[in-house]
Protein backbone atom coordinates (compact mmCIF):
# COMPACT_ATOMS: atom_id res chain seq x y z
CA UNK A 1 0.00 0.00 0.00
CA UNK A 2 2.82 2.42 0.85
CA UNK A 3 4.55 1.52 -2.42
CA UNK A 4 1.31 2.33 -4.35
CA UNK A 5 0.92 5.73 -2.67
CA UNK A 6 4.56 6.55 -3.33
CA UNK A 7 4.20 5.53 -6.96
CA UNK A 8 1.08 7.71 -7.35
CA UNK A 9 2.79 10.67 -5.67
CA UNK A 10 5.83 10.30 -7.94
CA UNK A 11 3.61 10.05 -11.02
CA UNK A 12 1.66 13.17 -10.00
CA UNK A 13 4.88 15.13 -9.38
CA UNK A 14 6.30 14.06 -12.76
CA UNK A 15 3.07 15.04 -14.57
CA UNK A 16 3.07 18.48 -12.91
CA UNK A 17 6.73 19.00 -13.81
CA UNK A 18 6.13 18.03 -17.44
CA UNK A 19 3.07 20.29 -17.65
CA UNK A 20 5.08 23.32 -16.48
CA UNK A 21 7.93 22.50 -18.86
CA UNK A 22 5.47 22.20 -21.76
CA UNK A 23 4.24 25.82 -21.46
CA UNK A 24 5.64 27.69 -24.49
CA UNK A 25 8.05 30.55 -23.77
CA UNK A 26 5.84 33.09 -25.56
CA UNK A 27 3.13 32.53 -22.96
CA UNK A 28 5.31 34.06 -20.24
CA UNK A 29 4.91 37.78 -19.48
CA UNK A 30 8.62 38.50 -20.09
CA UNK A 31 8.56 37.03 -23.60
CA UNK A 32 5.31 38.86 -24.42
CA UNK A 33 6.88 42.17 -23.42
CA UNK A 34 9.94 41.50 -25.58
CA UNK A 35 7.81 40.56 -28.60
CA UNK A 36 5.72 43.71 -28.27
CA UNK A 37 8.80 45.94 -28.54
CA UNK A 38 10.00 44.41 -31.82
CA UNK A 39 8.32 46.83 -34.25
CA UNK A 40 8.81 47.48 -37.97
CA UNK A 41 10.66 50.71 -38.72
CA UNK A 42 10.95 50.70 -42.51
CA UNK A 43 8.27 53.33 -43.16
CA UNK A 44 10.49 56.40 -43.45
CA UNK A 45 9.60 60.03 -42.84
CA UNK A 46 9.52 61.48 -46.37
CA UNK A 47 6.33 63.03 -47.77
CA UNK A 48 3.70 60.60 -49.01
CA UNK A 49 0.82 61.34 -51.37
CA UNK A 50 -1.77 59.79 -53.64
CA UNK A 51 -3.55 61.92 -56.21
CA UNK A 52 -7.22 61.05 -56.19
CA UNK A 53 -10.21 62.91 -54.81
CA UNK A 54 -13.80 62.39 -53.85
CA UNK A 55 -16.86 64.54 -53.35
CA UNK A 56 -17.94 62.21 -50.52
CA UNK A 57 -17.70 64.24 -47.32
CA UNK A 58 -15.46 63.51 -44.35
CA UNK A 59 -17.61 62.44 -41.38
CA UNK A 60 -15.15 61.75 -38.55
CA UNK A 61 -11.52 61.84 -37.45
CA UNK A 62 -10.50 59.42 -34.71
CA UNK A 63 -7.32 58.10 -33.11
CA UNK A 64 -6.06 54.88 -31.56
CA UNK A 65 -3.04 53.56 -29.67
CA UNK A 66 -1.13 50.44 -30.70
CA UNK A 67 2.00 48.69 -29.43
CA UNK A 68 4.25 50.09 -32.16
CA UNK A 69 2.49 53.25 -33.35
CA UNK A 70 -0.25 55.80 -32.78
CA UNK A 71 -3.01 55.93 -35.41
CA UNK A 72 -5.21 58.68 -36.88
CA UNK A 73 -8.14 57.67 -39.11
CA UNK A 74 -10.21 59.81 -41.47
CA UNK A 75 -13.68 58.29 -42.00
CA UNK A 76 -15.19 59.07 -45.41
CA UNK A 77 -18.24 56.80 -45.82
CA UNK A 78 -19.19 55.84 -49.35
CA UNK A 79 -15.77 56.57 -50.85
CA UNK A 80 -13.97 53.71 -52.55
CA UNK A 81 -10.27 53.16 -51.91
CA UNK A 82 -9.43 54.38 -55.43
CA UNK A 83 -11.22 57.69 -54.79
CA UNK A 84 -9.34 58.63 -51.62
CA UNK A 85 -6.34 60.87 -52.07
CA UNK A 86 -4.03 62.44 -49.53
CA UNK A 87 -0.84 64.40 -48.96
CA UNK A 88 1.07 63.84 -45.70
CA UNK A 89 4.44 65.30 -44.71
CA UNK A 90 6.43 67.05 -42.02
CA UNK A 91 6.34 70.86 -41.97
CA UNK A 92 8.08 73.51 -39.88
CA UNK A 93 4.84 75.46 -39.27
CA UNK A 94 1.15 74.67 -39.74
CA UNK A 95 -0.58 77.30 -41.91
CA UNK A 96 -4.27 77.35 -42.77
CA UNK A 97 -5.16 77.03 -46.44
CA UNK A 98 -6.79 80.12 -47.85
CA UNK A 99 -5.87 82.61 -45.09
CA UNK A 100 -2.28 81.55 -44.47
CA UNK A 101 -2.77 82.06 -40.73
CA UNK A 102 -0.33 80.05 -38.61
CA UNK A 103 -1.83 77.67 -36.05
CA UNK A 104 0.43 76.57 -33.19
CA UNK A 105 0.72 72.78 -32.88
CA UNK A 106 2.49 71.26 -29.85
CA UNK A 107 5.15 68.57 -30.15
CA UNK A 108 8.68 68.07 -31.36
CA UNK A 109 7.53 67.90 -35.01
CA UNK A 110 4.41 68.72 -37.02
CA UNK A 111 2.89 66.35 -39.54
CA UNK A 112 0.51 68.08 -41.96
CA UNK A 113 -2.25 65.80 -43.20
CA UNK A 114 -4.46 66.68 -46.15
CA UNK A 115 -7.22 64.43 -47.37
CA UNK A 116 -8.71 65.13 -50.77
CA UNK A 117 -12.29 65.12 -49.45
CA UNK A 118 -14.41 68.02 -48.18
CA UNK A 119 -15.60 68.32 -44.57
CA UNK A 120 -18.94 69.56 -45.89
CA UNK A 121 -21.68 68.30 -48.17
CA UNK A 122 -20.83 69.72 -51.62
CA UNK A 123 -24.52 69.89 -52.59
CA UNK A 124 -25.77 71.80 -49.54
CA UNK A 125 -22.63 73.37 -48.08
CA UNK A 126 -23.58 71.96 -44.66
CA UNK A 127 -20.65 70.89 -42.47
CA UNK A 128 -20.26 67.10 -42.28
CA UNK A 129 -17.49 67.26 -39.67
CA UNK A 130 -17.71 69.58 -36.64
CA UNK A 131 -14.07 70.78 -36.68
CA UNK A 132 -13.36 74.42 -35.93
CA UNK A 133 -10.44 76.09 -37.68
CA UNK A 134 -7.33 76.19 -35.50
CA UNK A 135 -8.96 74.22 -32.66
CA UNK A 136 -8.30 70.69 -31.32
CA UNK A 137 -10.06 67.85 -33.16
CA UNK A 138 -13.52 67.25 -31.64
CA UNK A 139 -13.74 64.08 -29.57
CA UNK A 140 -10.00 63.35 -29.76
CA UNK A 141 -8.19 62.96 -26.43
CA UNK A 142 -4.47 62.26 -26.81
CA UNK A 143 -3.75 61.66 -23.12
CA UNK A 144 -1.54 58.59 -22.74
CA UNK A 145 -0.39 58.45 -26.37
CA UNK A 146 3.32 57.69 -26.84
CA UNK A 147 3.80 59.61 -30.10
CA UNK A 148 0.85 62.00 -30.64
CA UNK A 149 0.99 65.28 -28.72
CA UNK A 150 -1.57 67.57 -30.38
CA UNK A 151 -4.13 67.48 -33.22
CA UNK A 152 -5.54 70.68 -34.69
CA UNK A 153 -8.18 71.06 -37.36
CA UNK A 154 -7.12 73.33 -40.20
CA UNK A 155 -9.79 74.03 -42.76
CA UNK A 156 -11.71 72.37 -45.52
CA UNK A 157 -10.85 74.46 -48.57
CA UNK A 158 -11.58 73.68 -52.21
CA UNK A 159 -12.34 70.03 -51.48
CA UNK A 160 -9.30 69.34 -49.28
CA UNK A 161 -9.44 68.95 -45.50
CA UNK A 162 -6.36 69.83 -43.50
CA UNK A 163 -5.14 68.67 -40.05
CA UNK A 164 -1.96 69.54 -38.11
CA UNK A 165 -0.71 66.62 -36.03
CA UNK A 166 1.88 67.32 -33.35
CA UNK A 167 4.15 64.35 -32.69
CA UNK A 168 6.93 63.71 -30.18
CA UNK A 169 9.68 63.87 -32.84
CA UNK A 170 10.15 63.43 -36.58
CA UNK A 171 9.32 59.73 -36.67
CA UNK A 172 8.54 57.24 -39.45
CA UNK A 173 4.95 57.11 -40.68
CA UNK A 174 2.82 55.24 -43.18
CA UNK A 175 -0.46 56.03 -44.92
CA UNK A 176 -2.95 53.35 -45.89
CA UNK A 177 -6.03 53.82 -48.04
CA UNK A 178 -8.94 51.51 -47.32
CA UNK A 179 -12.53 51.64 -48.48
CA UNK A 180 -14.09 54.58 -46.57
CA UNK A 181 -10.88 55.37 -44.63
CA UNK A 182 -7.47 56.99 -44.82
CA UNK A 183 -5.25 55.67 -42.02
CA UNK A 184 -2.07 57.40 -40.83
CA UNK A 185 0.23 55.50 -38.44
CA UNK A 186 3.19 57.21 -36.76
CA UNK A 187 5.78 54.85 -35.21
CA UNK A 188 6.88 55.21 -31.59
CA UNK A 189 10.55 54.78 -32.55
CA UNK A 190 12.86 54.45 -35.51
In this structure, are 89 and 180 located in the same domain?
yes
Q: What is the pLDDT along the chain (190 residues), one digit of tens a residue?
A: 444 444 444 444 444 443 333 333 333 343 444 445 678 778 999 999 999 999 999 999 999 999 999 999 999 999 988 999 999 999 999 999 989 999 999 999 999 999 999 999 999 999 999 999 999 999 999 999 999 999 999 999 999 999 999 999 999 999 999 999 999 999 999 8
* DSSP label at residue 1: -
pTM above 0.85, yes or no: no
Range of the structural domain that residue 140 is part of:
48-187
Question: Phi/psi of residue 161, each to 5°?
Answer: -115, 135
* Any domain includes 82: yes
- Pairing mode, strands 160-167 and 181-187: unpaired
**In whole angstroms, how large is the CA radius of gyration of the chain?**
25
Does 43 fall in a domain?
no
Q: Judge whether 39 and 187 are in contact, CB under 8 Å.
A: yes
Amino acid sequence: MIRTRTAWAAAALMTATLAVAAVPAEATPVAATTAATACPTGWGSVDKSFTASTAKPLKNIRTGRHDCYDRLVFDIPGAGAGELGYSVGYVDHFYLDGSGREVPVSGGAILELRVHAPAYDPETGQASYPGASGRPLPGVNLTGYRTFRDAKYGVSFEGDTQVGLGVRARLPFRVQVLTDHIVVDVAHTW
